[in-house]
Amino acid sequence: MTPRTWIAQLHEVTSVADLLIAFRNSSGRDWPSDNAFLAAVERLIERTDTEFLLGAPAGDGPAAGVCQLRFRPSIWTASDDCWLEDLFVAQDARRGGVGSGLVQAALDRAQARGCRRVELDTSEDNAAAIALYQRFGFSGTSKGSGHRDLFMGVRLDHDD
């Protein structure tokens, strides 16, 4: 059977948060707290610039995968860009097409919203994720310059 994907609705915030917590745990982290994840999902799911996609192996089973999509205007594409964020599939559902289904659903959502570019980041040592994304045409030279794109960031500490 073919995996199914759908846009998470407000009544599914716990399913989304639980999968993101499992993602955090699989990364060897214990922060942010479970409650912080739930609060963030509750806040973001109501925004028009954020969507959460859920995926299940087949039929009407429970969600076993999640990804977050963020939409933002881009002056370089004269449209919105889509940021594919936090794609995660539960260990027992991997290699069953849920990840591929989520990536395809993300591309479909971006296309439906008029985006001209979808971007993401992943760890250089995550060969499985890189292979998955490459199957869908993602590359390290998506900005059109002919040179390898480099994702960079900085953490900002705040006094609480």
Write down the domain spans for the chain: 4-135
The C-alpha angle 96, 99, 105, rounded to 5 degrees, equals 120
Taking residues 48-54, report their average pLDDT. 98
d(CA 57, CA 95): 10
Predicted TM-score of the model (pTM): 0.92
The fold adopted by the segment(s) 4-135 is Aminopeptidase (3.40.630)
pLDDT tens-digit map of 122-149: 988 999 999 999 999 998 877 767 778 7
